[in-house]
């Protein structure tokens, strides 16, 4: 009896191991499918994950929780999942505007509270600096929100900070050889002019985008060093003197470091 029991147990072991291995491979396959879906869509709800995989929500939740625990996914206040820092470090995804605003907002509020001036978050879109979000200053005379607006990147402080990250070849891709019709966007000339931005770590714009408005901007880099956005502090030029700008630049760079740590 004992021998037959041992034979029966031995006979069962390979099939059990094979079944376990199959289930493990299926879980890996499903996790990879979710990673690709996150990369493609940039946003994923639990119900969408379950439907995509054809599994129960509890199973999808376990997979997403594992991805989140390993840094491949993050969960926002809206309960949706988005690509996490591990995906960005591998160069497998790009941050959405929503995620940048969600990450930046607490640090923008901190910066706004420190200086009392208007704070903006911008990204570069080709030759333009595109404003994603603004928090207005507390002074009666202040710069208003620019959310949704776009300005020439080579004139806006945040745009300059982002352009300063690029090589001459990359600037040529944006502006064309010689800068096209605008002599101030000649790639080699522009790259040389932005050397000061690279040296001090921030850019300044005094009345270049709007008369009577001055601003200072600094690039925000994700893990790996790629600049993904810029924070800007802007104020009426009457109050934002050069000494005040230099003082604000120090606080701005602190806010940038705080945001970078959160990316």
Distance (Å, whole) CA 55 – CA 48: 10
The domains of the chain, with CATH numbers, are 2-89 (1.10.10.10), 97-262 (3.30.450.40)
138-159: average pLDDT: 96
User: In the structure encoding, which two tokens stand for residue 78, read together?
Assistant: 């809206």
124-152: average pLDDT: 95
pLDDT digits (tens, 9 = 90+) for 24-66: 688 889 988 988 888 777 778 999 999 999 999 999 999 999 9
Question: Angle 114-117-123 (CA atoms, 0-180°, nearest 5)?
Answer: 100
Query: Kind of pairing, strands 81-83 and 118-125?
Result: unpaired
76-104: average pLDDT: 76
Distance (Å, whole) CA 114 – CA 253: 12
User: In the structure encoding, which two tokens stand for residue 51, read together?
Assistant: 């439907």
pLDDT band at 88 (very low <50, low <70, confident <90, very high): low
Q: Which residue has the higher pLDDT, 255 or 31?
A: 255
Q: Looking at the chain, how many residues does it have?
A: 263
Partners of 122 in the β-ladder = 131, 230
Is residue 42 within 8 A of residue 96, CB to CB? The reply is yes
Question: Angle 196-241-191 (CA atoms, 0-180°, nearest 5)?
Answer: 15
Distance (Å, whole) CA 251 – CA 233: 10
Distance (Å, whole) CA 42 – CA 235: 34
Q: Which residue has the higher pLDDT, 179 or 238?
A: 238
The predicted pLDDT at position 5 comes to 43
84-101: average pLDDT: 71
């Amino acid at each position: 009896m004992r021998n037959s029991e041992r034979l029966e147990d031995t006979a069962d072991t390979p099939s059990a191991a094979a079944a376990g291995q199959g289930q493990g491979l299926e879980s890996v396959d499903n996790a990879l499918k979710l990673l690709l879906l996150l990369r493609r869509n940039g946003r994923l709800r639990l119900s969408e994950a379950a439907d995509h995989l054809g599994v129960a929500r509890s199973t999808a939740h376990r997979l997403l929780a594992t991805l989140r625990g390993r840094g491949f996914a993050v969960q926002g206040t809206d309960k949706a999942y988005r690509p996490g820092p591990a995906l960005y470090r591998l160069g497998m995804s790009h941050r959405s505007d929503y995620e940048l605003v969600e990450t930046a907002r607490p640090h923008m509020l901190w910066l706004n509270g420190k200086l009392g001036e208007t704070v903006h978050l911008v990204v570069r879109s080709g030759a333009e600096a595109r404003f994603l979000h603004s928090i207005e200053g507390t002074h009666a005379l202040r710069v208003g929100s620019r959310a949704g607006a776009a300005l020439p990147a080579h004139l806006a402080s945040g745009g300059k900070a982002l352009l300063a990250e690029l090589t001459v070849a990359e600037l040529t891709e944006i502006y064309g050889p010689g800068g096209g019709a605008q002599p101030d966007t000649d790639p080699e000339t522009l790259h040389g002019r932005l050397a000061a931005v690279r040296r001090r770590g921030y850019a300044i714009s005094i009345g270049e985008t709007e008369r009577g408005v001055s601003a200072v901007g600094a690039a925000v880099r994700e893990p790996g060093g790629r600049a993904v956005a810029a924070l800007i502090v802007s104020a009426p030029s009457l109050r934002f003197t050069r000494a005040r700008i230099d003082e604000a630049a120090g606080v701005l760079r602190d806010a940038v470091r705080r945001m970078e740590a959160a990316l």
